[in-house]
Amino acid sequence: MSPEDKTENTKNDKGSHLDEQELKKVFIGAIDAGTTSSRFIIFDGTGNPVAQHQIEFKQKYPQSGWHEHDLKELIDTVRECVEKGTQAFIDDGHDASEIKCIGITNQRETTLVWDTETDEPLYPAIAWPDTRTKKLVRDLKAQKGAGDLQDLCGLPLSTYPSSVKLKWLLSNVDAVRKAYDEARLSFGTVDTWLIYQLNGGKQNNVFVTDATNASRTMFMNLHTLKYDEKLLRFFELDQKKIHLPEIVPSSSPDAFGTIASGLLKGTRITGCLGDQSAALVGQKGFTPGSAKNTYGTGCFLLYNVGEKPVISKHGLLATVAYHFGRDQKPTYALEGSIAVAGSGVKFLVNNFEFIESSHMISDLAATVDDNGGCVFVTAFSGLFAPYWIDDAKGTIFGITQHTEKGHIARATLEATCFQTKAILDAMEKDSSRALTELAVDGGMSNSDLCMQTQSNIIGIPVDRPAMRETTSLGAAIAAGFAIDIWKEFSELKEINQAGRKVFEPSITKEESAKMFKKWGRAVEMCRGWVADEDGDEDTADTS
């Protein structure tokens, strides 16, 4: 029986076991460890945020195509956000003990390694958009058995998953190889590192990951939710030499431990979801066929396919959507991942100084009526789904003396919208079902112009909530289910419903098709741009 069916069969027995006034007195903390910032948001049981704190952390780009984070900065900013967010909650007249539990959501695929014996990082975190592994990926694709991997783990070989990043570290960083050879190498994604550190590190040794994050490594069998020996052998990993976190459900009353210090000392961590899964949960995408698109640093579209994974034949990823444990089976999703979305807007701010801040992008784009013939393929990290073109770089086509800043701004927004259209087309082919509406969230969704453009290009309504912190809300929902703040999905039906805005298509299908055809031509023209540069980009002296 699916969770959706179970909801229908039991909601009359249990109903909403807490009324609205009771829910307003229940509070859940959500740690959102994103790609560019950490934040802590406290929600009440109706899904309303009541206190929060956010800190941006440093992005490191030591070489072209490299993207790194400092492991200690990741945990330090999270701790500071928790303390300051909780203090704001207290200053508003509450007591810290009113926060019943904490959920965590995090950037996925980012790869962290540390010394099991000392808890010290062995190398900076290699962030998910990093492309230093593209030559390694091509070599791996030529290996025997490469064609079998996706059926097991749901992911194609690319620079995206954690597996190739870890393999690069073992081949290029002496300290990492030495720790592996001496069986003291710990590996994890961001969730594992944060949970481990928040629990006090080695002293309490809460070393876990949830199924949604584990499904992004290429080490977990998507069907069994366990590490797969065939996958590990392909990447030449010996489980006796590397410490891999235990895979647990996304919602659990005891698997994630408790906060070891600070204002929330003793508070249980009861939920953990990779950020895109968290956004699907926050958008209440519990029914097969529902979908959401999150416009963050990158852009990620998840489509609920139910209790059995669908291995894509059209360039998408199969992933765990969420697993709420107990007697419920995991729910799976098809995913389309776009490497550059909000980071494209930041590029216009930081590199070209077109605007002073990202929120001004719509005003700049509105200074012109259209893109003026410009198409911007924002392939800063190659192109992800459904194209998987590793040898492309950012390319602007159609520049003339007529071109203004506003045209480039429009083309930047449209690039994400076009890639979303390509992903939706692939999802329709894989699932044999056309989407009728798209739920959206994330920073770029704040732009009415961008969301109207998105609706025009995909030809279906785009539904945007008023409260767009759906990723953090999803983490809070997972945590709350673990301790029975909610018991059934039906109890969430009123959460985050107020003030939603729906954008309807305002151009013809013929006009939309003409725009998308030009985008497709630009994608084909950007192929092979770095084909002759591979010799030096993938290796460096890091000993």
E strands within 220-298? 220-221, 226-227, 242-243, 246-248, 269-274, 291-295
- Which pLDDT score, from 0 to 100, does residue 339 have? 84
- Residue 396 pairs in a beta bridge with 376
Q: Concatenate the DSSP letters of all residues of 58-101 into one string.
A: --B-SSTT--EE-HHHHHHHHHHHHHHHHHHHHHTT--GGGEEE
- In the prediction, which pLDDT does 384 show? 85
Rounded alpha-carbon distances, angstroms, from residue 429 to 1, 417, 462? 26, 19, 21
The first and second tokens of residue 475, run together, are 């983490």
What's the confidence (pLDDT) of residue 224?
Answer: 95
The secondary structure of 148-206 as a DSSP string is: GHHHHHS--SSSSSHHHHHHHHHHH-HHHHHHHHTT-EEEE-HHHHHHHHHTTGGGT--
By residue count, the chain amounts to 543
**Going by C-beta distance under 8 Å and a sequence separation of 6 or more, which residues neighbour residue 107?**
33, 34, 35, 127, 128, 190, 275
Residue identified by tokens 């419920």 is 328
Instruction: Report which of 278, 283, 270 is spatially closest to residue 319, judged by C-alpha positions.
Output: 278
Instruction: Give residue 16's pLDDT.
Output: 52
In terms of Cβ atoms closer than 10 Å to its own Cβ (0-12, 13-18, 19+), residue 238 is exposed
Confidence (pTM): 0.86
Tell me what pLDDT residue 9 has.
Answer: 34
Residue-level pLDDT at 297: 83
Task: Using alpha carbons, select from 230, 233, 273 the residue that is nearest to residue 251.
Answer: 273
Could you report the average pLDDT of every consecutive run of 10 residues in the chain (543 residues)?
37 53 88 95 92 95 93 97 97 96 96 97 96 93 93 92 97 97 97 98 95 97 96 96 97 96 97 95 90 88 92 92 88 90 90 87 93 93 85 91 94 94 91 86 91 95 90 95 89 84 95 95 87 48 35
